[in-house]
């Protein structure tokens, strides 16, 4: 049932649509639930628990309010009563610079991703609703957003090998809270949800005023769904272009220049943007003028840099690779390096870029057929200044380097 058909329906029918949405989540393994203690996620918890599928629950304690630890403990208590495993994931932080909500969101999904991987959970559900979707559309309108901004929140995406799903985007907040209230089930209201200092709260209040002219949360959520369908078609064209024109090799992208130049402008822009975001791990796309300049350089076959990435010519194509100065710091063996790579193997050592020092210890590195810039940006295992292994450049017995997500999967989930 789509969001626009929910308007005016009795609450129980809306809740039944929520049950169907939860029961239709694919897969047969343990399903992860992100439960904050708020009304939306607590309703999701109880509805999902009634389905009988194996579940694991996590609560992120951001530590931003004195009550948060007690709220997380209450969720744990309720999960114990339901016979469900529960974990509290604490965001350890000091003073947070910049956008607090954005930092908290990054931390939340990072913690949930790490928890899910450790538990062997492939899919995690989050309880965003039609109201959240409507507020997102209004935020996009306020910023004069394009298609991506007006298509709202994605129903699913992948992060670090974990799939996150929003199965309740067609269900209203009021219906979910009504479900809890009628049954006397506990939930908490975060006071920040009514703080007008936040843009999302301003949109929530604006939405209440728009109801008088027929603009409702389910209606705006339906609009987002229509635009998301168009967005999906465009993404399909980008994925098709990538399959024809882009080769992923050693963590870099080799792009056919003539083929790129022949693409429709929006498809070319999105393809280049996706390549840069996949390489850099950036949460936001580069600004449009800078992206346009790099696209023009690609068509001309000229080197360029943007968003921590380099573009260099090679034969009839261009290669996008991580810029040396932007590569991540060293990490322990087995941890994720530079946001994309996991190197595994036995023994001591740390993982950092191969770099010029590593190439100097590999006289036959050119036999891998990689550009110097690409080889230098690959992960390597080091013990002090001694190179132990460069799995992507030369034979490295006992060591392997794998991407947390390849470019193809990134395209499908972003």
Main-chain phi, psi angles of 297, to 5 degrees: -65, -40
In a domain, 243, yes or no: no
Please check whether residues 365 and 281 belong to one and the same domain: no
Please check whether residues 175 and 223 belong to one and the same domain: yes
pTM of structure: 0.73
Please check whether residues 204 and 112 belong to one and the same domain: yes
In a domain, 297, yes or no: yes
In a domain, 238, yes or no: no
Q: For residue 125, which of 163, 86, 88 has the smallest C-alpha distance?
A: 163
In a domain, 351, yes or no: yes
Residues 6+ apart with CB under 8 A from 73: 88
Our count of domains for the chain comes to 3
Among 295, 324, 353, the domain boundary falls at 324
How high is the mean pLDDT of the chain?
90
Q: How many other C-beta atoms are found inside a 10 Å radius of the C-beta of residue 76?
A: 19
Please check whether residues 262 and 387 belong to one and the same domain: no
Give the model confidence (pLDDT) of 256-286 as tens digits: 999 999 999 999 999 999 999 999 988 788 9
Give the model confidence (pLDDT) of 216-239 as tens digits: 999 999 999 999 999 989 999 999
Please check whether residues 367 and 340 belong to one and the same domain: yes
> Which range of residues forms the domain containing residue 23?
3-227
Q: How far apart are CA 141 and CA 75, in angstroms?
A: 36
Task: Over range 208-217, report the average pLDDT.
Answer: 89
Give the model confidence (pLDDT) of 172-184 as tens digits: 999 999 999 999 9
The label of the residue with tokens 């991703």 reads 113
Q: How far apart are CA 239 and CA 262, in angstroms?
A: 15
Please check whether residues 367 and 297 belong to one and the same domain: no
Q: How far apart are CA 305 and CA 78, in angstroms?
A: 52
In a domain, 318, yes or no: yes
Please check whether residues 262 and 222 belong to one and the same domain: no
Q: How far apart are CA 369 and CA 134, in angstroms?
A: 50
Distances (CA, A) of 169 to 196, 247, 390, 394: 23, 35, 45, 48
Please check whether residues 213 and 165 belong to one and the same domain: yes
Beta bridge partners, 160, equal: none
Please check whether residues 78 and 151 belong to one and the same domain: yes
Contact between residue 15 and residue 30 where contact means Cβ atoms under 8 Å apart: no
Give the model confidence (pLDDT) of 307-362 as tens digits: 999 999 998 899 999 999 999 999 999 999 999 999 999 888 999 999 999 999 99
Please check whether residues 10 and 146 belong to one and the same domain: yes
């Amino acid at each position: 049932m789509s969001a626009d058909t929910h308007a005016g329906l009795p609450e129980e029918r809306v809740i039944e649509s929520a049950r169907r949405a939860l029961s239709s989540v694919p897969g047969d393994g343990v399903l992860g639930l992100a439960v904050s203690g708020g009304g939306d996620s607590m309703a999701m918890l109880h509805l999902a628990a009634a389905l009988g599928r194996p579940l694991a629950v996590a609560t992120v304690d951001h530590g931003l309010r004195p009550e948060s630890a007690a709220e997380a403990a209450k969720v744990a208590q309720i999960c114990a009563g339901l016979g469900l495993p529960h974990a509290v994931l604490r965001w350890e932080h000091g003073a947070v610079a910049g956008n607090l909500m954005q930092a908290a969101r990054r931390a939340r999904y990072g913690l949930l991703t790490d928890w899910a991987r450790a538990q062997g959970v492939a899919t995690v559900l989050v309880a965003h609703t039609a109201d959240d979707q409507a507020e997102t559309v209004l935020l996009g309108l306020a910023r004069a957003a394009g298609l991506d901004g007006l298509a709202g929140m994605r129903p699913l995406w992948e992060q670090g090998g974990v799939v996150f799903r929003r199965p309740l985007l067609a269900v209203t907040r009021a219906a979910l809270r009504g479900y809890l209230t009628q049954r006397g089930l506990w939930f908490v209201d975060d006071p920040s949800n009514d703080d007008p200092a936040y843009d999302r709260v301003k949109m929530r209040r604006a939405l209440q005023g728009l109801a008088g002219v027929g603009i409702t949360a389910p209606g705006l959520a339906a609009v987002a769904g229509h635009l998301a369908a168009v967005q999906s078609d465009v993404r399909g064209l980008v994925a098709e272009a990538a399959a024809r024109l882009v080769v992923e090799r050693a963590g870099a992208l080799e792009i056919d220049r003539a083929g790129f130049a022949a693409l429709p402008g929006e498809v070319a822009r999105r393809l280049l943007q996706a390549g840069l975001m996949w390489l850099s791990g950036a949460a936001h796309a580069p600004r449009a003028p800078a992206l346009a300049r790099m696209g023009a350089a690609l068509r001309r076959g000229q080197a360029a840099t943007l968003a921590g990435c380099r573009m260099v010519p090679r034969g009839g194509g261009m290669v996008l690779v991580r810029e040396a100065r932007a590569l991540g710091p060293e990490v322990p063996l087995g941890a994720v390096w530079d946001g994309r790579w996991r190197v595994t193997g036995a023994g001591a050592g740390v993982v950092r870029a191969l770099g010029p020092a590593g190439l100097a210890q590999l006289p036959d590195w050119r036999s891998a057929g990689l550009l110097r810039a690409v080889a230098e940006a690959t992960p390597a295992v080091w013990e002090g200044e001694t190179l132990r292994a460069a799995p992507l450049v030369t034979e490295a017995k006992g060591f392997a380097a794998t991407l947390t997500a390849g470019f193809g999967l990134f395209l499908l989930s972003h």
